[in-house]
Structures are given as structure tokens and as C-alpha cells.
A = this chain, B = another copy of it.
Amino acid sequence: MKSEKISDAVVRRLPVYLRFLNELSHREVLTVSSQELGQKLDLNPAQIRKDLAYFGDFGRKGIGYDVSYLIEKIRQILNLDQQINVALVGAGNLGQALSNYNTYVKDNMRIIAVFDANPDKIGKKVKDITIQPIEELEQTVRDKHIQIGIITVPDVEAQRVADQLVAAGIGAILNFAPTIIKVPSDVRIHAADFTTDLISLAYYLQSGKELPENES
């Protein structure tokens, strides 16, 4: 009986575990050790055991974890035992690319509505979803029980879109716009800003780099 909250870092690793476990299940592998998980996922086996212990101690020494049980548990914890509907706002190149990745987003999570402000795009399709005008966002989010919004609009429009999503009662937002968005504390927001990721990589380019103060 654990009552501690799962840390954000662990929550972010759960989908990674889940993806590999699904792969194992697909290959009809029944059990997996923390060593195997660690090797495949480039994580410390002790870290993995600690992460998985959050969900009850169901790994067995010498045998490992039961793959299907672990999948079921992680899906429960991630709320993936229910259908989760996602709206995509912004049908530009990035939005369209994300829709194509919709096949990866199995696990009961699906983009079911796409919105854009550009009249030329309304009525066209992204995959099999018809692009709706952004004016329909709030109503559709409510009617279709959409719980997560993905924002792929230009940065100047991102806050307004977020406000609309929040007003419609969305629970979480994945923001690709390269800007900081403010939401009420009961709405979860993740920044998926790859320009930040990309630029931060430059730091690591010179091996053994020291802080500038030390370069003299």
C-alpha cells in the first residue's frame, strides 16, 4: 500500500517502458528482467526496479516481471485503460506530421479532431480527420469528450488557443509552439519544443568543455 505520488520523471519513463513491453508482448515474450529492460532502454536496472516498485512489487527474483501484467498495470496508471481523445490545433506541416504518428499513439489515445484558423484548410482532411474551423473548438472539445490538446500553431497564437482549450475543459496540453503558455494549475502542460532541445545539444559539442571563466 503506497500513497506517495509518482514523480514526473517516472511518469515520463512509463510510456517508454510501455512501448518496449508492448514490443515484447507482440513477440510473445512472457517475462522480462530489469537487466534486459535496462540494457534495451539504456537505464540503470536498479532505477527500473525502483520505478516499477511504485506499482507494487510484482517482479520475481530469477524470473523477472510478467510482461502482460506490467503492461496492464502501467496502462491503468497512465489512464490508458479508458479511451482518451486528443484534439490537434494547427494543421500545418508539424500538425500533419503528428497526425501521421497517430498510429504510434495506440493505447486508447487518439487524435479525433483537427482545427485550423486558415479558411483554405477547413473541410480538407488530415489523415481521415476533417479539419474544422477553430471557432468550433470549444463546442467540439465538450461534445467529443476531448481531454488532451496538442498545440501546433505559430507562437503568437498559442496562448489564445490554450485559453480556448482550457475554457472547454481540457485536462492537459502538449505545446509545440516555441513560446511559454500559461494555464491554470489544474491543467497539465508539457512543452514539446524541439528547437530548445536542438539548441541545448550544442552545449555538448566540444568534449571536455569548461565554463568560459576557465578558458583563460
Contact = CB atoms under 8 A, between A and B. Distances in A.
Interface string A186-213: 1010101111111111111111011111
B15 A196 contact: yes
Overall SS of chain A's interface: mixed
A100 interface: yes
Select the residue from A15, A54, A92, A201 with max chain B CB neighbours within 10 A. Answer: A201
A12 interface: yes
Contacts of A194: 98, 101, 174, 176, 192
Interface residues of A, number: 75
Given A1-B214, A174-B201, A196 B77 contact: no
A97 interface: yes
Interface stretch (A24-32, A104-112, A117-125): A104-112
Interface of A: 1-4, 6, 11-12, 14-16, 18-20, 40-42, 54-56, 73, 76-80, 84, 86, 92-94, 96-98, 100-101, 104-105, 107, 109, 147-148, 150, 171-174, 176, 178, 180, 182, 186, 188, 190, 192-207, 209-214
